[in-house]
Amino acid sequence: MVTVKLNDFNLEQIADSGQCFRMNKISDNEYFLIAFGKCLKISALSKDEFAFDCSKKDFDTIWKDYFDLDTDYSLYKNSVDKNDIFLQEAIKYGYGIRILRQELWETTISFIISQRKSIPAIKSAIESLSASFGSPIYYKDEVFYAFPTPKQLAISSLEELSKHGLGYRDKYIHQLSNNVSSGEFDLDKAKNLNYDDAFKFLTSIYGIGTKIANCIALFSLHKIEAFPIDVWIKRILEDEYNNNFDISRYDGYAGILQQYMFYYARSREYSKIQKNK
DNA sequence: TGCCAGGCTTCAC
DNA sequence: GTGAAGCATGGC
């Protein structure tokens, strides 16, 4: 067990921020996460104190990096335009959001699944794939399943894959799994590229366009200049900024602010305000 | 029950 | 290069 004090860190906000799909609430103040072939339980002891149920070694070598704990998010928040009421509200509402550094393969497949799907539907498709093709993880007398590797996914036929709620995306996943598994396509090359080259590299993949490439760049490669525009962000840019949002003000890290926008836009608080307008 | 979801490919122009 | 059609399926 590792207990740490953390600022700008909130489990619920991270779990519900739409960047990860296997972090879930299990009780009041407790969240459960599967990543890197491991299970992790995290408890909020107070607003700024957290218990990670793992070894000190795993915390230092995996989870500290995963949750981007060495970054001071107050610097980003303080840079926000004081006159930008929407963004000020958004950073206040989602104060504890972190941009995760997730595994490249899992993030790539997860966001291919995500297109034109709701977050609950994405989650259930990922759980279904993991339970059917992933390796078991034994944790406190229970069994969970890791996200399947390229080889594990490549074994299954297109027909088998299509049983997991993937819809028309099954063929994208089938092709990429086979190309990566055979060594024909080296996805890990993306890790050594700058944002522009990583974007070109990712959009060359069948089934990955502008938005998904930006999500992978932001949520796995940690290219925080990436600014994914989905239906929610598109609405915000129209409704709140009259399609005139000055992204250049946040040159180099706009993706982080995008995430506060996304989280706030989907909240009940924001929809209440919209109704009263 | 119908509508919408962290969009993409394809094809016409 | 831009714009529109078509897309599979689950969750609310």
User: CA A244 → C1' B5, Å?
Assistant: 25
Q: Gap from A150 CA to C4 C1', in Å?
A: 35
In the numeric block, which tokens belong to residue A219?
């949520």
Spell out the residues 6+ positions from residue A191 whose beta carbon is closer than 8 angstroms to its own. Answer: A104, A221
Q: How much is the pLDDT for A268? A: 86
Round to a whole number and report the distance in Å from the CA of A242 to the C1' of C12. 29
Please determine whether the domains at A2-81 and A104-219 fall in the same fold group of CATH. Answer: no
- pLDDT (tens, 9 = 90+) of chain A, 277 residues, equals 999 999 999 999 999 999 999 999 999 999 999 999 999 999 999 999 999 999 999 999 999 999 999 999 999 999 999 999 999 999 999 999 999 999 999 999 999 999 999 999 999 999 999 999 999 999 999 999 999 999 999 999 999 999 999 999 999 999 999 999 999 999 999 999 999 999 999 999 999 999 999 999 999 999 999 999 999 999 999 999 999 999 999 999 999 999 999 999 999 889 888 777 6
Q: Name the nearest CA neighbour of A261 among A219, A232, A220, A226.
A: A232
Q: Using CA atoms, how far apart are residues A100 and A111, in angstroms rounded to an integer? A: 14
Class of the domain covering A2-81: alpha beta
Spatial separation of the C-alpha atoms in residues A227 and A275, rounded to whole Å = 27
Instruction: Say what the pLDDT of residue A276 is.
Output: 76
Three-state DSSP state, A32: strand
Q: Is any atom of strand B within 7 angstroms of residue A25's beta carbon?
A: no
Q: Is the CB of A231 less than 7 A from some atom of nucleic acid strand B?
A: yes
Q: Straight-line distance from CA A103 to C1' C3, in Å?
A: 36
Q: Which two tokens stand for residue A255?
A: 């993706």
Q: Tell me the Cα Rg of chain A.
A: 19
List bases, strand C, within 7 Å of protein CB: 7-12
**Given phi > 0 = left and psi -120 to 50 = alpha, else beta, which region is A163?**
alpha
Cα separation, A160 vs A129, in Å, equals: 10
Whether the beta carbon of A115 falls within 7 A of nucleic chain B: the reply is yes
Residue A208: CB less than 7 A from any atom in strand B: yes
A67: amino acid identity, one letter: F
Measured CA A37 to C1' B12 distance, in angstroms: 47
Quick one: A104-219 is in which CATH superfamily?
Hypothetical protein; domain 2 (1.10.340.30)
Q: What does the pLDDT read at residue A210?
A: 98
User: Which pLDDT value is given to residue A271?
Assistant: 86
Domain ranges for chain A: 2-81, 104-219
**Cross-strand bridge partners of residue A39:** A34
Is residue A101 within 8 Å of A65, Cβ to Cβ?
Answer: yes
Can you read off the two tokens belonging to residue A76?
């980003």
Residue partners of A119: CB distance under 8 A and separation at least 6: A18, A21
- Distance, in Å, from the CA atom of A19 to the CA atom of A219, rounded to the nearest integer, reads 6
Report, in ranges, which bases of strand B sit under 7 Å from a protein C-beta: 4-9
Give the pLDDT of residue A272. Answer: 85
User: Do A198 and A221 touch, CB atoms closer than 8 A?
Assistant: yes
**What are φ and ψ of residue A197, in 5° steps?**
-70, -35
